[in-house]
Amino acid sequence: MATLASQQYTVESPLEAIELCYRMGWTDGLPVVPPSQQRVLQFLEHAGREPSQPVLVEPVTGRIVTVEKAAINAVMAGCLPEHFPVVLAALEAMSDPDFNLHGATLNTGGSAVMAVVNGPIVQRIGMNSGVALFCPGNRANATIGRALHLVLWNCTGNRPDELDKTVMGHGGRYSMCIAEREEALPQGWQPFHVERGLPAGSSAVTVFTAAHPLQAGYHGSPDPKEILINVADTMTVLPPWNQELLMVVSPEILRHFDKARWSKADVGEFLFQEARRPGYAVRRAHKFRYSYHAQAAGDQDMLPVLDRPEALDIVAGGGEGGAFVLVVALYGNGIHSRSITREVQLKGTQEV
Amino acid sequence: MVIVARSVTILDPTVEAIPSGTLIARRPDTLNGVTVGLLANGKPNSDKLLDFVGQLLQQRYQISALVARNKGNASRPAPAPIVDELARQCGVVITATGD
C-alpha cells in the first residue's frame, strides 16, 4: 500500500471532519467531503500513480503539488475515483509555462481555470456537454472543475489571504468545467483535442484562463454570415489583437454551419474580418492607447479583435433550443496565457 | 435509535509554503563606478519612471553606465537572456511597475 506523507487529523464524526476543514481554511466556502486515507488511496489506486509524484509546480513560490495532494483535494471536491485522471491531466496542463499559472491565477483581473474535456471519457464518466452546459447539476463537471480550484486554494496560495489579488474575482472559481459536444460538430470538423494533435479516440482535457464570458444569440436567420455579424458585434467590446479567444457554439448554429458547408477556418476568417473597431474608439476605451500598435493606427483604421483568424478556438456545446454562442476571452487577451491540452492517462496506458 | 459516533481521520490538503532560499545581495557602498540596470516590467509608464530614476542617479553619482531593458510582459517572468545580460553587466538593477 502506498505511503502517504500528509499530516493526519482525527475527529469524532464525519460532520466534525467537515467543520474541521472549515476551521482550517481548507474549503472554498462550500462543505467538502472529508478526505480520509482510505478514500485517497482509492483515487491513487484508480489512477495508478505514485503519491509522491509532482503534477504541478507553482513557478514563482516553488510549491509542489504531488499526486497525493491532488487526490486529497479531488476527494474533498466530491470527485469519484474515475474523475481523478481528468483532474491530474488538467493540473499537468496547468504546469505548462505558456499557461502562466502564477500570473493567470493571482492577477487583479481574476480569471477562472476553465476545463474542456474531450474523447470517450466524457461518456464513461457521464459528463454534461448539452443543455444547461455551464449550470450546476452534473457531478463530473462540477467536481472536476472544483478540484482544480481547491488545489489552487490549498496548495499554491491562490487565496486572498495569501497571493490572490483579484479585485472582483470570478464565479467560475467554484467550478468551470464542460465537455465538448463532439456529436454536434459539422461534417469535417475535428474535436478540439484532435485539432491540437492528439489521436482520434483519445481522451483529453484543455485548460483555459477564462475571463467572464460574453453571450451572443441570433435567431433571425440560418445564414452563417448573419449569425456571425451578431457574434462579431458582441466581440467588439474586447480589446484588439487577442492572441487566443474561445467560442463555445451551440448545436443549432453548428447545424447552420453544416448546411452552409462552413469550416472552422471560414468562421475564424469571417470573425477576424468583421469583429473590428476603429482606431480612435480603441484608443479612447482601452489602455492600448499607450501601445505603439494602437498609436500607429489611424483613427479610421479598423483594428481586429482577433490577432489572426487562427486565434479563434471553437468548441461545440450547449442545449438544442437556441442559436447561442459564448465568447470566452483569455487572461491578458491570450498574450499572458495560452490554453494547454493534455491527454488523460488511464491506468496501464501511461508512458513509463 | 442509537447513533454511534465514528471517529474519522482526514488528511491535510495543503502544501507548506517553501521558505525563500533567496538571499539579499550585499549592498554596494556607493553607486560611483557601478553599472546600473533599469528593468521595466512591461506596463505602460514603467519605462518612463525608470528613465527618470536613471537621470536622477546620474546627477547624484558617477554612474559607470545605465542599461535599460523592458521585459515586455508584466505577467510573465523576464526572459532569460535579459536576466543573464543584466546579471553579467550590472552591479545594481532597479525594477519598476507602472500602469
Per-residue pLDDT of B29-45, as tens digits, reads 999 999 999 999 888 78
Mutation choice for A interface testing from B6, B10, B16, B47 by most A CBs within 10 A: B10
The residue of chain B nearest to residue A153, with distances taken between CA atoms, is B14
Determine contact: A263 vs chain B, CB below 8 A.
Answer: no
Query: Is the pLDDT at A351 greater than 50, yes or no?
Result: no
Which chain B residues are closer than 8 Å to A18 by Cβ?
none
Q: Count other Cβ atoms within 10 Å, centred on residue B2.
A: 3
Q: Distance (Å) from the C-alpha of residue A92 to the closest C-alpha of chain B?
A: 17
Q: Distance (Å) from the C-alpha of residue A174 to the closest C-alpha of chain B?
A: 17
pLDDT in tens, A27-60: 999 999 999 999 999 999 999 999 999 999 998 8
The fraction of chain A above a pLDDT of 90, given in percent, is: 83
Confidence at A195, pLDDT banded by 50, 70, 90: very high
Is the pTM higher than 0.90? The answer reads yes
Contact B11 A150 (CB under 8 A): no
Q: Distance (Å) from the C-alpha of residue A189 to the closest C-alpha of chain B?
A: 34
Determine contact: A302 vs chain B, CB below 8 A.
Answer: no
Determine contact: A20 vs chain B, CB below 8 A.
Answer: yes
Contact A16 B8 (CB under 8 A): yes
Candidates B8, B14, B44; nearest CB to A155:
B14
A7: exposed, middle or buried (C-beta count within 10 Å: 0-12, 13-18, 19+)?
exposed
Q: What is the mean pLDDT of residues B70-77?
A: 86
Confidence at A286, pLDDT banded by 50, 70, 90: confident
Determine contact: A161 vs chain B, CB below 8 A.
Answer: no
pLDDT in tens, A157-188: 999 988 888 999 999 999 999 999 999 999 99
Q: Where are the beta strands (DSSP E) in chain A?
A: 8-11, 54-57, 64-66, 112-118, 177-179, 204-210, 214-217, 245-249, 276-278, 302-304, 312-316, 324-329, 340-343
- The pLDDT, as a whole number, for residue A349 is 59
Tell me the helix, strand and coil percentages in chain B, rounded to 5.
Answer: 25, 20, 55
Are A80 and A42 spatial neighbours (Cβ–Cβ below 8 Å)?
no
Give the position of cell 461545440.
Answer: A316
Contact B12 A16 (CB under 8 A): no
- The pLDDT, as a whole number, for residue B85 is 95
Are A43 and B16 spatial neighbours (Cβ–Cβ below 8 Å)?
no
Give the position of cell 488511464.
Answer: A346
pLDDT in tens, A104-157: 888 888 899 999 999 999 999 999 999 999 999 999 999 999 999 999 999 999
List the domain boundaries for chain B. 35-96
Average pLDDT over chain A reads 94
Contact B15 A10 (CB under 8 A): no
* A 270-299 near B (Cβ less than 8 A): 287, 290-291
Q: Which residues of B touch A (CB under 8 A)?
A: 5-18, 44-45, 73, 75-77, 99
Confidence at B3, pLDDT banded by 50, 70, 90: low
